[in-house]
Amino acid sequence: MTELIERMLRRLDGQLPGRVSRPGDNRYSAATALWAKPIGRMPRAVAHCRTARISGGARASDVLTVTDPRGLAAVTGSCGAVGMAGLTLGGGYGPLIGRFGLALDNVIAADVILADGRIVTAEHDREEELFWALRGGGGNFGVVTAMRIRLHDLPNVLSGMLIYPFSEAKSVLEGCIDIAASMPEDLTVQLGFVVGPDNAPVILVVPTWCGPPGQGDAQVAPLLKLGTMLDNTVDAVRYGASLATFDAYIVNGQRTLMETCWLPALDGRSIDVFIEAMETAISPGCAVFTHEFRGAASRVAPEATAFSFRRRHLLVEILATFVDRSDKFEEQRHQRWVQATLAAFNAMALPGGYPNMLASSAVERATTSFGRNAERLIRAKRHYDPDNVFRSAIPLPVGRSDGRAPASGQATAAPPSSAMNSRRLIRSPRRRGREATTDL
């Protein structure tokens, strides 16, 4: 029997190279420290499955605080302060998208409380239709109390912020277009158009290399030569630490207006719009950011998840923030800038828009965004929540409404906790977050 067990363990080790530990291995000791021992027996081996169970309320930074020391990474967005559930169930663009896909592509299972009071686990072989609908339809079908997500081996990334003067915006962005033509999937580049500490706009170029460590410097090098560099924080860091590029500058309590669109790619016409948007910015709280969609995310079949827009594209995020939430005049001024910027992109924008950033009144745009999956989503909603008890921030192509949606033609009002002050992107001190709540 002992010889048979040994053969089985060697076979398992071959099937999961580097992921099986035995007594005497530090990983075995760490894993079995929490082992329940009702009969005093210990396992002959431990298979490290590379998954994490995330409870509701966990932020990306909470998860990565636990995974970073283990050389692992969860697929997240660009900011550590963002909640994992909302980000993931709506889509989840982020720095690892080219190699590992959207955050929702890495969901293995979700625990959900349904409108009828039942508690179910949705995964590939149980509640499959609910599992499909959650990944893109968000919390419109029940309360997601926990998720199990896939983790990836990623000891570190090469990432940071490059800052270029706005006076060189056109040449810097044209250089980005040239680099993108041959950019490997392990490299993503986020662009930011913000107002700096001296009230002058600047261009942020934020690369993240998540491929083999020895190859990152050569891949990022062309981005260091786009123009007159004002600052460079690119370094090899843990993935969680890389998200601090933006995390330190989240400002609580500000009024934030948001709009979004999809572009086929960065090109000459869109460059002109990005530049004009910042030339006409009405306050330091105006900013525009881009998020890439490419690589692994674009190879998922459109019908595999409710999120169906799987062609390569560029997500544009338009933000306007101001301090006095009660100042209606300032709200109208910033609203006009947001809408004017969105309108300027309309001539080149793709139909629809990222549902996670759309206003709850944008049912028509949401319907277009879900494409052929729209009818299936409606059926799932009627099956799991026929009385529309659950209404998440993600608009669904359904006829019901809670009556609280913003008026048509207005930008989404983002939660105050997610307001990003563009001026603080350059100079604010880092703030510490709360401890992790994840369960590996």
Cβ contact 81:60 at 8 Å: yes
- Residue 417 or residue 40, greater confidence: 40
The pLDDT tens digits for 310-329 are 999 999 999 999 988 888 99
- For the segment 272-291, the average pLDDT, to the nearest whole number, is 96
pLDDT of residue 416: 40
How many angstroms separate the CA atoms of 414 and 256, rounded?
A: 5
Q: Which CATH code is given to the segment(s) 157-361+410-427?
A: 3.40.462.20
Mention the CATH class of domain 51-153.
Answer: alpha beta
What's the CA gap between 322 and 331, in Å, rounded? 8
Block residue for tokens 């980005």: 176
Lowest mean pLDDT among 78-87, 242-251, 265-274, 333-342: 242-251
At 399-436, the pLDDT tens digits run 444 333 333 455 666 544 344 444 444 333 333 332 33
Q: Considering just the CA atoms, what is the radius of gyration of the chain in Å?
A: 23
| Pairwise CA distance, residues 216 & 109, whole Å | 33
CB 261 within 8 A of CB 293: no
Q: What is the C-alpha to C-alpha distance for residues 440 and 437, in angstroms, rounded to an integer?
A: 10
Residues carrying CATH 3.30.465.10, the chain: 51-153
Residue 83 has a CB neighbour count (10 Å cut-off) of 18
| pLDDT tens-digit readout, 120-156 | 999 999 999 999 999 999 999 999 999 999 999 999 9
Task: State whether residue 38 is helix, strand or coil.
Answer: coil
Positions of CATH 3.40.462.20 in the chain: 157-361+410-427
